[in-house]
Amino acid sequence: MELDKDHCIKMNDGTKIPAVGFGIYAPDAVQKSKCEEATKVAIEVGFRHIDGAFVYGTEEAVGRAVQQKIADGTVKREEIFYTGKLWSTFHRPELVRTCLEQSLRKLKFDYIDLFIIHNPMSLKPGADVLPVDENGKFIFDVVDLCQTWEAMEACKEAGLVKSIGVSNFNCRQLEMILNKPGLKYKPAVNQVECHPYFNQSKLLAFCKSKDILLEAYCALGSQRDKTWVDQSSPVLLEDPVLGAIAKKYNRSPALVALRYQLQRGIVVLFKTYTKKRIEENFQVFYFHLSEEDMKTIDGLNKNFSYVNLNGFLGHPQYPFKDE
């Protein structure tokens, strides 16, 4: 899959998506407070793809950053590619547009470039984004995701979003959408955890066969958020094999991990609020890994997932990972 001169890839609906995206997930208030400034830095460096979500709680900060960069002439709105996500408490078809409109208001945008179902697990609608019972267990909802998808299609037809897709869907769940009677638009992307320890080769092959772009989050391992990540899990960027390849190219292990995904035809996301690392990550476009080194990195795969979603155990759509 070839990148054009603007480092973009064409999706199945004809829209272009920048191949590298800046993620704005922030696990705590301290990180959230840094989001606005980091987003401005990312735009100044040259990144045009911003990956956000309703549940992140950072959309107002991102909106302010984008508006400031438009006001000072750095970018035009149409040059920014923003991804928003439908949260699990809004899966009922009558709630889909409500979630989208809340994001649009926070961002102060007229439209979102890509709107995706954040994950296939539906949760009880209401003010709590993670509704739990008296035992601390998630309260699930039972929703036909094909109906959710029809509501997503309606948002696209209303001009509120340019493209629609999914996240954390496995092959079976993608087939469910693709085989839906009366399907108007198939998912443009499927955003999943993907890195050298969990390279998603089976899902990547499936998505390529269906002309769906795979998009990688946790591409550098993980931010090690205690909510979702086992703190004893291995640190990807400290892997000696990755380190040796990085040294060979005089690049950082992070750049090698990002470049690995680009050469597999995967849109890749990274998250850092450090200016130096944001600037460094833009160098991903300016070197190429050999076929031998790509195979070596393939060999690091352990089907190891950093993101622990065992709290969804018992949900009809669990597990959603393809081993």
Binding site residues for substrate, as ranges?
118
Q: How far apart are CA 101 and CA 109, in angstroms?
A: 10
Measured in whole angstroms, how far is the alpha carbon of residue 11 from the centre of its chain? 15
Shortest CA distance to 260 belongs to which of 221, 290, 217, 223?
290
DSSP state of 28: S
In three-state form (DSSP H/G/I as H, E/B as E, the rest C), the secondary structure along 56-68 is HCCHHHHHHHHHH
Binding site per annotation, positions: 118
Which DSSP string corresponds to 133-149?
-TTS-B-B----HHHHH
286 flagged as catalytic: no
Q: Which two tokens stand for residue 244?
A: 């040796």
What is the number of H-type helices and E-type strands within the chain? 10, 10
- 209, β-bridge pairs: none
Q: Which of 25, 56, 82, 273 is catalytic?
A: 56
Question: Any idea how long the chain is?
Answer: 323
The helix (H) or strand (E) run that includes residue 70 is helix 59-71
Residue entry with tokens 């065992």: 310
Q: How far apart are CA 279 and CA 275, in angstroms?
A: 6
Give catalytic residue positions.
56
